[in-house]
A and B are shown apart, each in its own frame.
Chain A
Amino acid sequence: MATTSEQLPAFSETQSKIPWYVQDLPLYLKGFGILTVIYIGLRLYQGAFAISSGLDSSEPAFEEYWMRLFYIELSVLAIFVSGVWGYLWISRDRHLDTLDPKEEIRRYFTLTMWISIYTFAVYWAGSYFAEQDNSWHQVAIRDTPFTANHIIEFYFNFPLYVILGGCAWLYARTRLPLYAKGVSLPLTLAVFGPFMILVSVGFNEWGHTFWFREEFFAAPIHWGFVIGVWFALGVGGILLQGVTRLTELLDGLEEAP
Chain B
Amino acid sequence: MSVNISNRSFRPYTGEKARITRAYDYLILVLALFLFIGAFHLHFALTVGDWDFWVDWKDRQWWPLVTPLMGITFPAAVQAVMWEKFRLPMGATLCVTALLIGTWIARIFAYHYWNYFPINMVLPATMLPGALVLDAILMLSNSLTITAIFGGAAFALLFYPSNWPIIGMFHVPVEYGNAQLSIADLFGFEYIRTGMPEYLRIIERGTLRTYGQYATPLSAFCSALLCTLMYTLWWHIGKWFATVRYLNKI
A130 & B20 in contact (Cβ 8 Å cutoff) = no
Q: Which B residues touch A47, using CB under 8 A?
A: 113-114
B53 & A119 in contact (Cβ 8 Å cutoff) = no
* Interface membership of A146, Cβ < 8 A: no
10 pairs of A and B residues whose beta carbons are closest in the complex: A182-B246, A217-B49, A236-B242, A132-B110, A126-B42, A126-B38, A122-B38, A233-B241, A131-B106, A236-B81
* Interface membership of A105, Cβ < 8 A: yes
Give A245 to B6 CA distance when docked, in angstroms.
Answer: 10
Question: Could you list which residues of chain A lie within 8 angstroms of chain B, going by C-beta atoms?
Answer: 19, 21-22, 43, 46-47, 50, 105, 108-109, 112-113, 115-116, 119-120, 122-132, 134-139, 141, 178-179, 181-186, 188-189, 197, 213-218, 222-223, 225-226, 229-237, 239-241, 243-248, 250, 253, 255-257
Query: Given A214-B200, A232-B39: A223 and B46 within 8 A (CB)?
Result: yes
B15 & A256 in contact (Cβ 8 Å cutoff) = yes
Q: Which B residues touch A239, using CB under 8 A?
A: 28, 81, 242
CB contact between A186 and one of B15, B78, B241 (< 8 Å): that residue: B241
Choose, from B29-37, B125-133, B210-218, the stretch at the interface.
Answer: B29-37
Q: Which B residues touch A119, using CB under 8 A?
A: 31-32, 34-35, 38
CB contact between A188 and one of B24, B51, B109, B250 (< 8 Å): that residue: B250
Which label, helix, strand, loop or mixed, suits the secondary structure of the B interface?
A: helix
* Interface membership of B244, Cβ < 8 A: yes
* Interface membership of B13, Cβ < 8 A: yes
Q: Which B residues touch A240, using CB under 8 A?
A: 3, 5, 81, 85, 242, 244
| Chain B residue at minimum C-beta to C-beta distance from A221 | B46
Extra contacts, 19 of them, besides A123-B102, A232-B35 (Cβ < 8 A), are A46-B114, A123-B37, A129-B110, A130-B41, A131-B110, A135-B110, A179-B246, A182-B247, A182-B248, A183-B247, A214-B195, A223-B46, A237-B241, A237-B243, A237-B245, A240-B85, A244-B6, A246-B24, A250-B13
CB contact between A116 and one of B5, B17, B30 (< 8 Å): that residue: B30
CB contact between B244 and one of A43, A125, A231, A244 (< 8 Å): that residue: A244
Query: Given A21-B23, A185-B243, A240-B5: A233 and B39 within 8 A (CB)?
Result: yes
Q: Which A residues touch B107, using CB under 8 A?
A: 131
A128 & B110 in contact (Cβ 8 Å cutoff) = yes
| Chain A residue at minimum C-beta to C-beta distance from B73 | A230
Give A213 to B195 CA distance when docked, in angstroms.
Answer: 8
Give A197 to B39 CA distance when docked, in angstroms.
Answer: 11
B31 & A115 in contact (Cβ 8 Å cutoff) = yes
Give A233 to B51 CA distance when docked, in angstroms.
Answer: 25
B19 & A19 in contact (Cβ 8 Å cutoff) = yes
